[in-house]
Amino acid sequence: MYDKTVRRRRAVLGLLVVSSLILLTAYFGERSGGALHNVQRGILEVVSPIQEGASRALKPVRDLFGWVGDTVSAKGDLQQTRADRDKWREDAIRNQTAARDNAQFRGLLNLDKQPKSLQPYGPVTARTIGSSPTLWYVKITIDKGTSSGIHEDMPVIASDGRSDTNSGLIGKVESATGNASVVRLITDSTMAVSARTAGGSAAGLVQPSPGNPRDLIMRYVAKDEPIAKDDVVVTAGTTSKRSDLGSVYPPDLPIGRVTRVDEAGAANQLPHLRPFVDLRRVQFVQVLTQKVNGNR
């Protein structure tokens, strides 16, 4: 019984296939005004209104599914856009950080060349890992210590990366542990650095100005030692021949540039200078771990 049903269905399928081939052959073989073409046009005239009505009736359903699909797709696109945005932002921050770090390293490299190489002083590069949480900004903490040869009273130089000339002395090591050190900055009221103008004509003692950590003053400049605006001030180093009176700082480390001179030419003339290094921008420092000829 089952075999007969299968054979019957196969026979009907074969008959339909053969009939379709015959009709197709006849359709493409006759003229446009033939019987088969007329039948096709009649069917289209009957079916077209039904198809149009069904299309209009189903349009809200299609629009609903289309809206759902577009919403899902838009959410996916939004998530991808946000992911791309976050990645671009991370890349931008990373690039800005790298550019800033490179600028500071270039500043340190330039400082090493002028006026003489600092390599004999055994510079050790370290990263800042903390700073004073106050307006005065008098201390920073770095990530190198005694295990790297850093000890108390060693001079510290840095660059803020703004330009090749924004490099110079920023302070000295106050204390050191195995893997960290505290640096007291030249803006601290207890700091005093023996200094002179780059030309060597005026000498004095550089200290922070009371009430203004961004302003340094050069005390004890003699009346007959001319000093003027824009003069560069550097460390004086050791000026005494006595071995027990050596300076912490090597000579010729840049400190700052004179911005004005109060009572110029008078016995109590008081030059003001701005440090070359913006201490709030420092990310890397170098500690000079060796003295050369007693820092003379």
Q: Which pLDDT belongs to residue 164?
A: 66
Task: Fold for 114-295, please state it.
Answer: Thrombin, subunit H (2.40.10)
Q: Could you give the residue range(s) of every CATH 2.40.10.340 domain in the chain?
A: 114-295
pLDDT at 131: 81
- What pLDDT, on the 0 to 100 scale, is given for residue 145? 92
pLDDT at 149: 95
The predicted model scores a pTM of 0.65
Q: Which residues of the chain are under the pLDDT cut of 50?
A: none
> How far is C-alpha 125 from the geometric centre of its chain's CA atoms?
20
pLDDT digits (tens, 9 = 90+) for 219-240: 999 988 889 999 999 999 887 6
